Structure 1
Amino acid sequence: MYTHMEYLQKCFCKATSWNEDNIYANVTATSRALLDFPIPSGGKLDVTSQATEHLASSMTLLNHNSIHGSLAYLYSSAPLKNTTGTKDISLQDAIAGFRVIEPHMLASPSKTNSKDSTTRPSLLYGRLYFPGSSLEAMIIRKLTDLTQLLIKCINNPQLHKNGTMIVYLQENVPRYSREFIYSTTEALFGFRCLYNFGNPAKASTPLIPKFDNSVVSVGAEFWYAAMSMSPGLSAAFRYSTRSTSTGKPLTMTLSCNPILGHISSTYNVKTSVSSTVCSKYDFNWFSYASNLSIGFELFNFSKPSHLFHHDKHSHKDKHSNGIVGRMLTRHGMEHENMENETLDNIIHGHGSLRNRQASDTNIYRDPIMPHNSSIHYDTLAPPPAADPALLSTHTINNELAYTLPSVPRKRMLNPIQNVDEFNHMHPSQPLDDAQTHTAMKEFETLVNESNFSSVIKGSTSLSDRMVKLLWVGRYKDYLVSTGVSVGLNETTATPEVKKFGVTFSYAF
């Protein structure tokens, strides 16, 4: 879970149109978020107050072996207007998870207003730890629309010369990014670069496309420590795409360090709106050591309110004992029945679905059949609300039925049927761009607009023989994060708790 200061820093990057996914250090960000997530130790309380759109302060208290904490301040010259507190923040923005690489961000440089061209945004951040005299600071200064200067400083008596400083000169162009780095530790010089391949605008539409919006990124980093005269080198490859039939994104990465003989490959896929799976394989060609790691991320939907909650309460006094009141209750329950049946037909391909959707009116019969209240919100489109004044009743085969007027209904999304069957029936006709883009847009909208109440993460690896579990959820106006790490004792080979803790975060 991000601290609120980290969340504000990400909001600053969005406000200044800075693409964090186009940085070499974030090539494997998804796998790190799903496999190497930190487990809290002890009890922690984090309280943040954002006084204005430009200024925020934070206090942290931690009880781990001893009571200690920190005070932090953040200032942004660019107004952070879209920030929210822990009461209204979405879990998608509060935690590190699957990162979707957007190809359209590679099409053209980000456009800024004329005011931003004259006054370059900047961010100042500082944190003081107590008890003790440790201090950390960070400065971000936009030099141009595509270039920024990042300075990080740490002052700690336990470090060599009481501290260190790292300077980054970053250029983030839609097609590539470059970083020049200098660290006072051992006079370390570094250079990073990342290049993106692939044209977002398709030159030609294939007959049977299965993947679309693909982005290939290749990068490398070079290091040289002047004092110890030791070099460093690594390279990485990232392939990100989306399925046109389901809209689900996936990312594959391959990174290697030829000096140490280490190679690592990851595969990350968002299997549904609320679930993500990640796997990682490490191998060293010098020692022939290998390791396989697996992780997952599972969101839990918030309990939805009743479909006709507003209508039932607004007509409670007038129609509580009449036919309209009973009709609304039955209509809400029958509508869930129809949605669940529609989902089953989409999955199994029953032909009755097409006959039912082809009717001009929706008829709901009485008596009411038992219904299943579990709805897959990642595949269903929200139905239009019915106006009780427009509902009418009549009898069909001596049964009471309610009829809705012929109102255009939002089409159920079944991209597999729309795309695959179209290709089999018309193999010589290319697919329309709007048709192939529907599934991806619908899936992205569902992910961004879904209201989640909690998320659970888990990871394990064969060589470490350790299992990590992390739960993040809401408790009133707080964000709560708790986790546990369980491993095997080296001597007795019995399971034991390595780390356990809970964190309460409150921001207003």
Structure 2
Amino acid sequence: MDSYLEDILFLYNRDTHWDETFTYSYIIKTTNDLIRFNIPSTPFKLSLSAKTTENSNTFSNFDIFKSQFKNQQLQGHISYIIYNVNESIEVLKQKNRHNNNNNNIMNQDSDINPIIKINQSFKKSLHINDYIKNFSDYYKDLLIGNQNNEVPNSYDYLRTKSYKNSRFLYGKMLFTGDNTGRSITSGMYIKQLSLNTRLMMKFQSDSTTQSLHSTSSLQFQNANKFMELTYNTTETLIGFKLLKKLWNNPIEKSCFKLGFEVWHGFKNFTPHSSISFQYDTVSSQQGKPLNFSMDINPLLGHLIVTFGMWENLHHYDSIHRKRSGMFSHFFLNVYSLKSKLNIGYQYKQLKVAVNFTDRYLRFKHGLQLSDKFTLSFGAVMQLDSDLLNNINPLDNMLNYGLELKYIG
């Protein structure tokens, strides 16, 4: 996922109250952001991003950079994003469990519906048309009893906010710049089915191979549980993911999450499974957030352990990147006993990661030139015995690049 799509998708998730940090994929995504982060892959890249219309959520992006092929042509991509958030108020009818013949006592403090708990942060005022409609529906059932001869006041009418039919659409066309005129088209579509359920579809098409690959996911999320059912057309894969909060203490700012995923490929009959857990807390001595996670793949024998002390670990800021701290990542194959150790450090827009096994150094730094211009540069360097003897440090660089970004 490129940074531009990630920035706009963050806005959509925020507007629809979807917590991206409480997903199974986010555990892996956090590691990639801090250890295997992307750097500008070309000597120079120019990125232009702008909001197309002022009164709608429509965005466009254009990137141009030097081709990696020998013909020295330019390559780039054009992307377009549009999303709309459909806020509506739904009145849910629930049996009043405190009804005692004619003496109905509503004990709201001791018996609160879970829907209200999930939506207790929604404090926006209602539109006058929604208010009149809900008022009419309430008294319609109150007077006629919905033609079922039940006591009118035996029901509670719960007002809850819904983002049903909210949509997110993303399209991107990449021009490779080679002699064949090859182009790659990718896209993403998200539709909100209810407050807690949404459908996500991703696809990619190649003009050379005339192939189309897609991945469809049905996601469910509430305050304590996340579930995802996924189908991929490439290998005819079907997967299921589950993540649950087993313990959450807002006062001590501690949370323990446990989850698993299972996959099966019907084309090549390749199974896959993993178990993960994550623990977040705050150090009592230093007052710094601590994060510990473990991922186990029993079929491949992979064991991944991560530990870090981070400020704003789950805070996303597309401009200032306020996340800062140190992070370690350890990989072990219990069958072959091969291991890898990575350590990453980040302070605002500066990122540094070291792979001690392959002896790689990866770094990236961004500068905020103005409110609309940012400059980023990064490189991947080979750490060997000749590093200090080389006069030109570029001889040890495997990849480096510079990116100038304009956000209108």
TM-score (norm 2): 0.72
Closer, same or farther: CA 468–232 of 1 in aligned 2, 3 Å: same
- 2:228 aligns with 179
2:253 to 184, 195, 213: 213
Cα distance change on mapping 1:142 and 1:287 into 2, 3 Å: same
Deviation at 1:200, TM superposition (A): 3.1
Find the counterpart in structure 2 of residue 123 from structure 1: 168
Shift of 1:22: 1.0
Could you tell me which residue of structure 1 aligns to residue 264 of structure 2? 224
Deviations along 1:102-125, one digit per CA (max 9) or x if unpaired, are xxxx99424557776375211111
Higher RCO (CA 8 Å, separation ≥ 6 residues): 1
Q: Distance in 2 between matches of 1:460 and 1:118?
A: 43
Count of aligned pairs: 318
Instruction: Say whether residues 1:505 and 2:408 are aligned partners.
Output: no
Q: Which residue of 2 aligns with 1:70?
A: 77
Structure 2: give runs of 5+ residues left out of the alignment: 88-114, 131-160, 176-180, 313-321
TM-superposition CA deviations, 1:184-204 (whole Å, max 9, x none) = 1121100001011224366xx
1:47 alignment counterpart: 48
Aligned twin of 1:135: 185
Report SS of the residue matched to 2:39: coil
Q: Normalized per residue, which structure has more strand? A: 2
Greater helix proportion: 1
**Does the 8 A contact of 1:40 with 1:503 survive in 2?**
yes
Shift of 1:136: 0.8
Give the equivalent residue in structure 1 for 2:356. Answer: 462
RMSD: 2.8
State the match for 2:158 in structure 1: none
Larger radius of gyration: 1
Superposition map of 1:177-326 within 5 A: 177-200=226-249, 212-243=252-283, 246-270=286-310, 275-299=324-348
User: What do residues 435-494 of structure 1 show as CA deviations (whole Å, max 9, x unaligned)?
Assistant: xxxxxxxxxxxxxxxxxxxx2110102111011111011123311110011115799997
Give, in whole Å, the separation in 2 of the partners of 1:268 and 1:135: 37
Asked whether the 8 Å contact 1:297–1:456 carries over to 2, the reply is yes
Secondary structure in structure 1 of the residue aligned to 2:190: strand
Cα distance in 1, alignment partners of residues 280 and 165 from structure 2: 32
1:127 to 1:118, Cα distance in 2 relative to 1, 3 A: closer
How far apart are the structure 2 equivalents of 1:134 and 1:2?
15
Q: Deviations over 1:81-111 (max 9, x none)?
A: xxxxxxxxxxxxxxxxxxxxxxxxx994245
- The alpha-carbon deviation at position 244 of structure 1 amounts to 5.0
Aligned to 2:17: 17
1:54 touches 1:79 (CA, 8 Å); kept in 2?
no
Unaligned runs of 5+ in 1: 81-105, 203-211, 300-454
Query: Is 2:79 the counterpart of 1:29?
Result: no
User: Which letter maps to 1:49?
Assistant: A
**TM-score, with length taken from structure 1:** 0.58
CA distance in 2, matches of 1:119, 1:258: 39
1:4/1:507 contact within 8 Å kept: no
Q: Distance in 1 between matches of 2:215 and 2:323?
A: 38
Overall identity of the aligned pairs, in % = 24
Q: Residue deviations 1:402-427, cap 9 Å, x none?
A: xxxxxxxxxxxxxxxxxxxxxxxxxx
Question: Following TM superposition, by how much is the alpha carbon of 1:156 offset from its aligned partner in structure 2, in angstroms?
Answer: 0.9
Distance 1:180 1:247, change over 3 A: same
CA distance in 1, matches of 2:244, 2:307: 20
For residues 256 and 168 of structure 1, the distance between their equivalents in structure 2, rounded to whole angstroms, comes to: 23
